[in-house]
Amino acid sequence: MESRTVRDTVRALWADDILPSLSRLVEIPALSPSFDPDWAGTGHLDAAVGHVRSWLAAREIPGARVDVVRLEGRSPVLLLDVPATEGAEDRGTVLLYGHLDKQPPLGGWSDGLGPWTPVVRDDRLYGRGSADDGYAGYAATAALEAVRAAGGGHARAVVLLETGEESGSPDLPAYLDHLSDRLGQVSFVVCLDSGGNDYERLWLTTSLRGLLQVHVTVRVLGSAQHSGLAGGIVPSSFRVLRRLLDRLEDAETGEITLAECNVEIPANRVAEAKATAEVAPGAVRGSFPLHGDTRTVAEDEVELLLNNGWRPSLSVIGASGLPEAADAGNVLRDSTTLALGFRLPPTADSAAALAAVRKALTTDVPYSATVEIVGDESADGWNAPETAPWLAAGLDAVSDGVFGAPWRAVGLGGSIPFMGLLGKKYPDAQFLVTGALGPDSNAHVPDEWLNLPHAQRVTEAVAHLLHAHATS
């Protein structure tokens, strides 16, 4: 396969076709179903699917088929099905994954920027869903086109774009079952919903944490009371919750104390963390806009990487029952609700962890206060299989030819439930979990942006690895 043609094709597609269409996709407020329960009525997810479907249908890849798959009561899936090039028909199916749903807009965007306003500045495309991960379907398709233009080969390829990833991919198991016969034997999975610690090299995500969420409410009164009359007699619902949280987390260290939430970290992942810390020193501690004199939870970057990739953590991601401080009166409130979000190690059993959390929160409750748990969900993480020789060789080749820097691997602290599902369904497949996200891409928060040159290089790398897979 002619490398210069791959590069020229990718660059031309990004400049002339992808960037204009991706910019229009940014304009669509396609919130994930968890953030837009009436998504079917508002129509934004369907608009995003329709927009990208039209772009895919116009590509005119020989033999390609574009379909929107809808199961009743579930958000849709968009498929591009491309036949194998000659000689690669026996290499199974390559499944290239991305998603079209988005996180909420949030406030606090910088002047001139907004969640639904695409802005290109200094090789950056700003807007919600630009980097996470509206570009993925475009990049996957461009990689396939570049392979063909350069005389290379690829196996039968299916680009699958879902619309519920930001909600935890609740509909994907049903779609995987529904599409099982059509997908056939998946031998290579390419996921472009990830990234790494800089924009200098190709980063592979070799593990993803699982997740667990619960909404826990503590009730102590039938109705709120004057704090001067009830204080000291009736326990504070917040204090009860605080004591319950101490059963889950060491407040001094942040360590999650439940055995079901912890695993032994594999030796190869520890080695990867050390290599990552060496190649990008300071990248972990410098990734976030710490306020004032705030410090990270540890100084050692290897420990920080392992904390983020292989140890559980807890975030209080929401609360109710608490008025705004300016509106607060002298009231002992009847209840407090906290939304708890756990990140679990890649190999932890999320169902067992959820059961342990529920037991800890509801057993021997202080003062026999009432505890209610709703909104619980859990999803397992994912740990990549050993890298096949053809993929290792291909990664080395694109590191030299595309990036000019060695590739590195990292465990991602977030979750992509689809990977866990696929890992179980296709245990013999190889996985390339990568992407254009960098440490400052602002996914999920204001000023989200996509590094356009890096996205092009990732696209180019995927084209070469598709060819490596087909010819191995």
Tokens in use for 321? 């029952």
Distances (CA, A) of 118 to 10, 26, 48, 122: 21, 6, 15, 13
- pLDDT at site 363: 98
Residue 99 CA to its chain's centroid (Å): 10
Distance CA 110, CA 126 (A): 10
Residues of the chain with pLDDT under 50: none
pLDDT confidence of residue 282: 83
The whole-number pLDDT of residue 459 equals 98
Give CA–CA dist 205/195, Å, rounded.
Answer: 7
Q: pTM of the prediction?
A: 0.85
pLDDT of the residue at 130: 98
Structure tokens given for 183: 């997908």
Considering only the C-alpha atoms of the chain, give the largest distance between any 2 of them, rounded to a whole number of Å: 82
> Which amino acid is present at 367?
Y
Tell me the C-alpha distance between 224 and 234, whole Å.
Answer: 11
183-241 pLDDT tens trace: 999 999 999 999 988 999 999 999 999 999 999 999 999 999 999 999 999 999 999 99
β-bridge mates for residue 338, sequence order = 216, 319
Q: Which domains does the chain have, with CATH numbers?
A: 3-208+382-471 (3.40.630.10), 210-262+311-379 (3.30.70.360)
Amino acid at 255: E
Q: How many CA atoms lie within 13 A of 332 on its CB side?
A: 19
pLDDT of residue 18: 98
- Tally of CA atoms within 13 A in the half-sphere of 360 that contains its CB: 22
pLDDT tens figures, 297-334: 999 999 999 999 999 999 999 999 999 999 999 999 99
